[in-house]
């Protein structure tokens, strides 16, 4: 975790499901669920699913958004 604007955030690397580019994603500790975010390189929509285990460790799955 790293501090970002006064709060702590997990930083993970994800791979775009369209162009394959590696992107960095900062996730606040209280964030989980599914969201849609555009790739910073090819601008295609990515469906990002964020889950956490009992210890709060983050797991991220990336797919093409429908």
Q: What is the pLDDT along the chain (66 residues), one digit of tens a residue?
A: 555 455 678 899 999 999 999 999 999 888 899 999 999 999 999 999 999 998 888 999 999 998
Distance CA 29, CA 15 (A): 21
- pTM to 2 decimal places: 0.81
- In order, the DSSP letters of 14-50 are EE-TTT--EEEEEE-TT--EEEEEE-TTT--EEEEEE
Q: How far apart are CA 26 and CA 5, in angstroms?
A: 12
| CA–CA distance, 25 with 13 (Å, rounded to integer) | 6
């Amino acid at each position: 975790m790293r501090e970002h604007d006064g709060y702590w955030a997990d930083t993970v690397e994800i791979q775009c499901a369209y162009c394959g580019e590696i992107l960095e994603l900062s996730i606040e500790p209280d964030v989980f669920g599914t969201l849609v975010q555009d790739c910073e390189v090819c601008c295609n929509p990515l469906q990002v699913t964020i889950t956490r285990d009992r210890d709060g460790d983050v797991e991220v799955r990336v797919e093409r958004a429908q």
